[in-house]
Amino acid sequence: MWLYLAAVLAGLYLLWRWHRERQMVPRLSEKYVLITGCDSGFGNLLARQLDARGLRVLAACLTETGAVQLRAATSPRLQTVLLDVTSSQSIAAATAWVRERVGDRGLWGLVNNAGIAVPTAPNEWLTKDDFVKVLNVNLVGLIEVTLSLLPLVKQARGRVVNVASVMGRISFFGGGYCISKHGVEAFSDTLRREMRPFGVQVSVIEPGGFRTGMIDPVTVVKGFKQLWERLPAETQASYGHHYLETYAKSTILLHRMSSSCLSRVTGVMAHALLARFPRSRYAAGWDARLAILPLSYCPAWLTDATIGLFLPVPAGAMPTRP
């Protein structure tokens, strides 16, 4: 009897949750949404999808070429602005541009999507500048854009959607990327609690592996070789040339295994923006849901052993203890 009761209650809960998450906010045609990183990938697709749904999309692109191509593929409602998230001057100019367009309505949605992934490599191969290059875009730039536009979002009692990664839960490789995504998670957590009294919802998107164009395997392998060449001879000897070759091959393999269905990510982005009851976190991709997120809750020894299966062994590795 208790088993049947539990099954009925679970079914009712799932039905209630399904109904609750299907409720959308009204008057989409009146809402302004700014998306960063719209030259390609998630940002570009989301801009086109929201434009097709009638929203007033403000698409921030890094290049004029990306802006022109996006305007050609969308309706006259969509407007573009050039934005370099590493430049305070560019952010200030874009903020003034947005304020001029939204007026008293405020900014309903801010999607912090702009990001880079390289250089990635074993941490010992990198310099401080290599880390800073990624952190300035993925974390510091995201924070400055958010703080600059937050008054407009509060005015609309709107949404902030930050694109992190499952690599913000568990780090698979060295460099600034995973560090920056851990930082995005932390910033989003505090911002969510601080903004709740003002009626502003903050959500984090945690995609798995997707082919967004952010990582070009040829460029990554070339970058590995450049990093290798600048290493001291002692460090090269400790890893061995086989480590470099295997590391590069693993990167290419992971890219090939990544999903090309970007709509799995833009779909949850849209839900975070348009649902009456958005979630605090959205995982996107089978690898994120079924592998990486569960692994992040495992003991450190199990996580390390699992990830270690996919890493090459350095030439100077210590022998395993008997």
Q: For residues 219 and 221, what is the distance between their CA atoms, to the nearest angstrom?
A: 6
Note the pTM of the prediction, 2 decimals: 0.89
Which of the following is catalytic: 4, 13, 32, 177? 177
Sign of CA dihedral 115, 120, 124, 129: negative
Q: pLDDT tens for residues 281-322?
A: 999 888 888 888 888 888 999 988 888 888 888 876 666 554
Q: For residues 100 and 289, what is the distance between their CA atoms, to the nearest angstrom?
A: 41
- Catalytic residue check, 247: no
> 94 or 9: whose pLDDT is higher?
94
Q: pLDDT tens for residues 46-83?
A: 999 999 999 999 999 999 999 999 999 999 999 999 99
Residue found by looking up tokens 């911002």 in the block: 191
Q: Where are the domains of the chain?
A: 27-211+260-288
Nearest to 45 by CA among 272, 271, 267: 267
DSSP 84-96: -TT-HHHHHHHHH
Q: pLDDT tens for residues 142-184?
A: 999 999 999 999 999 999 999 999 988 888 888 999 999 999 9
Q: For residues 311 and 246, what is the distance between their CA atoms, to the nearest angstrom?
A: 8
Sign of CA dihedral 243, 249, 255, 258: negative
CATH 3.90.1530.30 fits 27-211+260-288, yes or no: no
Nearest to 213 by CA among 118, 71, 126: 118
Longest dimension (CA), the chain: 71
| Contacts of residue 176, Cβ cutoff 8 Å, sequence gap at least 6 | 119, 130, 131, 132, 133, 134, 135, 138
